[in-house]
Amino acid sequence: MGTLYLVRHGQASFGAADYDQLSPLGHQQCQALGTFLAEQGLQVDAVLRGSLRRHVQSLDALTAAHGRVPEAVEWPALNEYDGEALVRALEPGPMPPTDTPDGYREHFRLLRRGFLAWTEGRTQPQGMPPYAEWVAGIVSALDHVRNHCSGNVLVVSSGGPISTAVAHVLGASPATSIELNLRMRNSAVTEMAFTPKRHSLVVFNHLPHLQAPERKGWITAA
């Protein structure tokens, strides 16, 4: 039996022109996770990551703090869906601003609706594959871990793929996966046990490295 650790990237640049890069806090979150894993004596035996910059930067920060992490296998199917494309496929027009509480809530309300329309085949967002094909790419990463890995496997990805992986393992619906997705925190760890036959969920959306009182302000979701 092995253990799979699915790590959501650190805080990215939400609301900025270029979201796909870590904020200074995002670097700190991932460094804290790397330090925590090293202090626990966790030996990492294999690594997969998406190809987005926030995935690369998150793994780099974690690796620098941990000290002993093998070279990653890049797995583009672990990349996040395009949230703006999901919304525009359902409701063309300007996106709501995210610099106010009302705009922030509206953004995620539209994202939820756009995601569900995509999963149900009611829309086909520009530049994105059909939903079933996207899920198959995520499942391919899980299958690779079951069939080719052992020991402790680290995956660095995004909230969408990780929540979809959890829903797949639990046999849950796409509607459940988007609800899981919208509750994931930056640098959170989701743990699964695996054998050549199956994955089993152990822990979801855990932040053991940010539990110290002085780090409560480091907990973010967007």
Say what the pLDDT of residue 92 is: 83
Question: How big is the CA angle at 165 (ends 20 and 181), to the nearest 5 degrees?
Answer: 55
Q: Are 162 and 184 in contact (CB under 8 A)?
A: yes
pLDDT at 33 over 80: yes
What pTM did the predictor assign? Answer: 0.95
- List pLDDT tens digits, range 123-154: 999 999 999 999 999 999 999 999 999 999 99
Are 107 and 199 in a shared domain? no
Q: How many domains does the chain have?
A: 2
DSSP string, 92-148: -SPPPPSSSHHHHHHHHHHHHHHHHHHHTTS---TT---HHHHHHHHHHHHHHHHHH
CATH code, 157: 3.40.50.1240
Q: Which of 98, 127, 156 is the last residue of a domain?
A: 127
Residue 11 has pLDDT above 70, yes or no: yes
16 has a pLDDT exceeding 70: no
Tell me, yes or no, whether 113 and 134 share the same domain: no
Do 7 and 93 belong together in one domain?
no
Where would I find the H helices in the chain?
24-39, 53-66, 83-90, 101-119, 131-148, 159-170, 174-181
| Same domain flag for 117 and 177 | no
Least confident of 87-91, 98-102, 140-144, 205-209: 98-102
**pLDDT tens-place string over residues 166-195:** 999 999 999 999 999 999 999 999 999 999
Same domain, 143 and 209: yes
Q: 98 and 76 in one domain? A: no
